[in-house]
Structure 1
Amino acid sequence: MAWSTLEPFDVSFFDTAPHRHSFPMDLPVAPQAVWAGLAGDTPLSWCRGLNAGRYTSPAPHGVGTTREITALRVLHLREEFVRWEEGTRHSFCVTQASLPLFRRFGEDYVVEPVANGTRFTWTFAFEPSPVLARPAALTDFPGRAFMKQLVNSTKRHFGAA
């Protein structure tokens, strides 16, 4: 498989990315259960459209940890974590992708306790590859629909849907 290399970034990209979508959701389970699903051996296994998620670096996991996952059976991603706050937050940047869709792409996961369980905020941040940068609506629409599918899968999995 040929790999496209993406540009690295630091955590400030999650505030400055040209395309940023944040999805806060309240889940009726303990924060530890949400964290276990995000950071466990089979991350995001409940999400329709994602599969084969696995860590490619040994535990314990933290900044610098690497992972691979497949989206929609055709987009293979290699990721590196740029933030890891055990139990509460982690963020990664994609380092390589099987399709040249992005210049930069990453996700930020925040897990916070609330009165009835957990608030999980899932943020997607990206800059499309130059070929896809215009028109922005064509770049953003399919991705946003897929993101909403991931959010809905998460809500169903944790009993919030």
Structure 2
Amino acid sequence: MAHRLRPVGLDFAETAPVRLVFAREVTAPPEAVFRALAEDVPGWASWFPAVTLARPSGDGSGREVRLRGGTRFQETVLAAQAAEVYAYRVDVTNAPGVRALVEEWRLTPAGKGTRIQWTFAADGSAPFRLALKLGRAGLGRAFRDAVRALDRRLASTHA
């Protein structure tokens, strides 16, 4: 059953009760990474293995995302600053125990490529918070695999 989450702002990425932060460098430039994140929303399903569907909603200020296993999200884009940051808030989900959720992708030039930092900021019931803490390694692996696949995809489109 879908439920509405607490509307939080971008600052929640810094103040959430549970913050999982992962970073990795890629060879693609920040502009290309930003385009893949913010402008090619349907493309997420080709490089982020957990994503089965991603599409813009409304006038582009939102997203609809579906994950393997049936989890669904309706999101609002909180920040889309070219080649710097892309962030969104989950407004509605069928995932149990979630009260608030923001994901922030921060891009920083690194040599000839980009350092990508992903912050997964959440609040929820005690069992949800515990599950996130226990699942940290799995989320980190999912991030690394996704970013590696994104970098390969971007390299093949710019080769």
On the 8 A contact 2:78/2:87 being kept in 1, the answer is yes
Structure-1 residue corresponding to 2:139: 146
Which stretch has the larger CA shift, 70-79 or 146-155?
146-155
Structure-2 residue corresponding to 1:107: 103
Residues 99 and 144 from structure 1, CA distance in 2 versus in 1: closer, same or farther, beyond 3 angstroms? same
Structure-2 residue corresponding to 1:27: 26
Q: Structure 2 matches for 1:58-77, cutoff 5 A?
A: 58=59, 61=60, 65-77=61-73
Q: Which amino acid in 1 is paired with 2:151?
A: F
The runs of 5 or more residues in structure 2 that have no matched partner are 153-159
CA distance in 2, matches of 1:17, 1:44: 25
- Match of 1:44, SS? helix
CA distance in 2, matches of 1:93, 1:3: 15
Q: Report deviation, 1:122.
A: 0.9
Q: Report deviation, 1:22.
A: 1.0
Residues 136 and 57 from structure 1, CA distance in 2 versus in 1: closer, same or farther, beyond 3 angstroms? closer
The runs of 5 or more residues in structure 1 that have no matched partner are none
CA distance in 2, matches of 1:15, 1:141: 20
Tell me whether 1:94 sits opposite 2:77 in the alignment.
no
Q: Give the CA RMSD over aligned residues.
A: 2.0
On the 8 A contact 1:22/1:123 being kept in 2, the answer is yes
Q: Structure 2 length normalisation: TM-score? A: 0.84
Percent of counterpart pairs with the same letter? 21
Tell me whether 1:125 sits opposite 2:124 in the alignment.
no
CA distance in 2, matches of 1:120, 1:14: 15
- Match of 2:44, SS? coil
Structure-2 residue corresponding to 1:48: 49
Q: Report deviation, 1:31.
A: 1.3
Bigger helix share: 2
CA distance in 2, matches of 1:99, 1:134: 12
CA distance in 1, matches of 2:67, 2:16: 21
On the 8 A contact 1:77/1:98 being kept in 2, the answer is yes
